[in-house]
Each structure stands twice: as C-alpha cells, then as structure tokens.
Amino acid sequence: MRQKRHVVIFVEGDTDKVFFDRLVQYYRQNSETPVASCEVRNLHGVSRYNGKLSGKLKGQIIPAAARKGMEVQAVCCSYDTDVFEYAERPVVDWKRVAAEVKRLGIKEFCEVKVEQMMEDWLLDDIKGVCSYLKLKKKPGSVQGQNGYERLQHLYKAANNVYVKGLGASALIGALDMGVIRDKRKETLKELEAVLGVKIEGSPGR
C-alpha cells in the first residue's frame, strides 16, 4: 500500500516555528489543491544542526510518521541568511545536511533562505505590525540595520520590547500571511512545491 506523504520543515528558532505553523495553516486554508501532511520542528539554534536534525528524524519523526501510515518524503530547512546581534554563530554546511537527509532515505530536500532574517518578512506586513502594536500611524522611517532592529524600533515607539521568539507568537498571529506570502513567493516556491500548494498561479506540484 502506498504510504501517505509527510513533509518536515526544520526551523532554527521560536519565531520561525510560529511563522511556519501559521504559513502552513494559511496554505491549508487557501490552496486550491490538498496540502500534504506537514509538521514544523524547532531545532532551537543552529549549533550541532546536522546531528540534531538527523537524530530527530531517525529517533522520532520517521517512526511516528510510520505509525500513522505516513512516509517522510521531503525535508525543508528554513534559515535566516543573516544573524541578529545575539544569535549563535556557526555556519551550517547545507550540502552536508542534504546528504544526511538523502542517507536517511528521504527523497526530497529543499531550503527556504529567509532574507535577511525572519523579522524582515514580518515587516512585509508593516500595516499589520503597526496595528498589532496599536501605533496610530506608521512612522515615516523605521530605523535599524536589519529586520530585528527595525522591528525593535517599532516596538519602542509603542513602549514595548520585541523579544525574538518569545514575543513573536502574538505578533505573527495578528499579521496577514497572504501579504507576506505574496512578497516572498519566489523564495517559498520550492516549499510550496513539496507541500503541493497551489494558490492563484503558484506552480504547485
């Protein structure tokens, strides 16, 4: 019997976990075609990335999927292309990760390179961010050298502190994922393909 397709998205932190959970939810609500079974796994940083990913696939995810009659057929790794001030700083060898995934018998592997960091994507819906922060109007210029600093600048204007990861859940819940997805659809193309997503002219599977 042919097993049901299961996709795993690995992310490197709490913010990304919340974001991709919401994105998958958005896909399910808006895709014209059925979206594959999918789970988002948080590796909590990029230290020992390959080992953690391999261990979780072998020890937990693949057996659990098999128990439900599913097969892990695709793995997607999402990561920020830049690091914020207080991030861990190893460089992950993505070719090595891809080889490890293949070694585990998983046919498909793709990457989602978040330019420059997840906060830049959240700011794609700046109207939603300002509305969440109850800022009466969007500041003329949002200062900061990267998405984290720019988001922190907006939080400051709202007398608040943005805490990466911890503070992202409520914020992301208030954002319009359609706006962000539209702006980042090129980057998300491969992920949408492995998930079988088809939204208004997106390539789908």
Partner 1 sequence: MSNVIRNIRIGGITNIAEVSVPLEALTALVAPNNYGKSNVLQGVEFAVRFLTATPQERRGMMAQRKLIPINQSMDNRPFEFEISGTAAGYDYEYGYRFEWATTKEGLTGQRITGEWLRAKGTDEPTLERMQSQAGLSFAERGGGRRSQPKYRSLLKREGETEALMAPTPTSRCSKPLAVDGVTLALDRLGALDKLFFAALVRELQGLSVQRVNTLDNPDGIFSTPYPQGGTELYSTAMPRSGETGYFINSLRRLAPERYELLRSTLLQLIPDIEDFEPVQVDLSERADVPFQMPNTYYDIRVKERHNNQYTSINSVSTGCKKILWVLTMAMAASMNGVALLMFEELENSVHPRLLQSLLQVVDVLAGDTKVMTTSHSPFLVKYLRPERIYLGLPSPEGVADFRTIRPSKVKKVLQLASGEDTSVGEYLFEMMLDAEADQEMLDEYFVR
Positions touching partner 1 (CB under 8 A) are 44-51, 85-93, 152, 156, 159-161, 163-167
Distance of CA 159 to the CA centre of its chain: 28
Of residues 1 and 86, the one with the C-beta less far from partner 1: 86
Of residues 127 and 156, the one with the C-beta less far from partner 1: 156
Of residues 92 and 104, the one with the C-beta less far from partner 1: 92
In angstroms, the CA 42 to CA 47 distance is 12
Q: Which residues contact 198 (CB under 8 A, 6 or more apart)?
A: 31, 32, 33, 192, 204, 205
Distance of CA 170 to the CA centre of its chain: 16
Residue 83 C-beta: closest distance to partner 1, Å: 9
Of residues 1 and 91, the one with the C-beta less far from partner 1: 91
Of residues 97 and 188, the one with the C-beta less far from partner 1: 97
Residue 2 C-beta: closest distance to partner 1, Å: 36
Residue 149 C-beta: closest distance to partner 1, Å: 10
Q: Which residues contact 40 (CB under 8 A, 6 or more apart)?
A: 8, 9, 11, 17, 20, 21, 24
Q: How far is CA 201 from CA 40, 125, 141, in A?
A: 25, 21, 34
Is 63 exposed, middle or buried (CB count within 10 Å of its CB: 0-12, 13-18, 19+)? exposed
Residue 161 C-beta: closest distance to partner 1, Å: 5
What would the two tokens of residue 203 be?
Answer: 């390539």
Residue 17 C-beta: closest distance to partner 1, Å: 13
